[in-house]
Amino acid sequence: MAGKTVLITGASGAVGTACAQVLLDQGARVALTDRVAPPPHLLAHPDVDFQAADVTDRASVDVAFEAALRRFGRIDAAVLAAGVEGPVALVEEISEADIDRVLAVNVKGCLFSMQACLRDMKPRGAGSIVALSSISGVVGSATLGAYTLSKHAVVGLVRSAALEAGRHGVRVNALCPGPIDSDMMRRLDKALSERDPQRAQGQADAAKALPLQRYVTALEVARMAAFLCSDDSGSCHGGTYMVDGGFTAR
């Protein structure tokens, strides 16, 4: 990744921050966007540019993308990591406000960011886009219907974009993490266990439900994202890449 520039949305979250650090360690320059600033050690790095942006606002996304282009000249790859977990609720309990919010961030936000990248990458004939989906993009998740819907949509968007962009030299892939050791997962563990005290045989979290018996780390997800951004993954296109501790092997 030396000398390449990577755009990262959701850069202040656990995965976004880890991606930024891994890519910087590999010699990349990173353009970070999020509603709130990432950690100070990233902002202080000479190869980091940060622009505040709300991925649900197409104009805000475009402004941040253009700022990154002015700073670095081009965007070689992108990790689209902005996302929210949504409500813990049965399908019939999901409110219109909740589904609108989840789809706005997880689907429209991914679409707007991908559109900005494609407009720049396709004319240049090169680029790699990695969109964060989830294991919930390939399997169902009870009481997480809004989140599951949105992450399935991300996989569908990636597949359609891959069919369109491949002939232009642009690769598009979905990265599907399992439960990540993060604040988001701790919120979900608490809410899911309150709803079903016998979830995961009454354990405080569901880590033991994974074949590897532990949660995925943000660093592990970031390393896969960096691989998919790099030329080493040159024939990886239109795929769904699992980093899930074996969860989907069932």
Q: What is the CATH number of the domain that holds 125?
A: 3.40.50.720
Active site residue 147: yes
Same domain membership, residue 100 and residue 30: yes
Same domain membership, residue 140 and residue 189: no
Each residue's pLDDT tens digit, 27-74: 999 999 999 999 999 999 999 999 999 999 999 999 999 999 999 999
Which among 61, 22, 13 has a CA at the least distance from the CA of 4?
Answer: 22
Same domain membership, residue 225 and residue 186: no
Each residue's pLDDT tens digit, 8-33: 999 999 999 999 999 999 999 999 99
For residue 71, is it within any domain? yes
- Rounded to two decimals, the pTM is 0.93
Burial class (CB in 10 A: 0-12, 13-18, 19+), 95: exposed
Q: With contact defined as beta carbons under 8 Å apart, do 130 and 84 qualify?
A: no
For residue 93, is it within any domain? yes
For residue 11, is it within any domain? yes
Same domain membership, residue 192 and residue 119: no
Confidence bin at 250 (pLDDT 50/70/90): confident
For residue 172, is it within any domain? yes
The contacts of residue 67 (CB under 8 Å, 6+ apart) are 31, 49, 51
- Amino acid identity of residue 44, one-letter, is A
Instruction: Tell me how many domains the chain contains.
Output: 2
Which position among 147, 215, 241, 247 bears the catalytic label?
147
* pLDDT, position 210: 82
Print the domain residue range for 187. Answer: 181-215
Same domain membership, residue 190 and residue 113: no
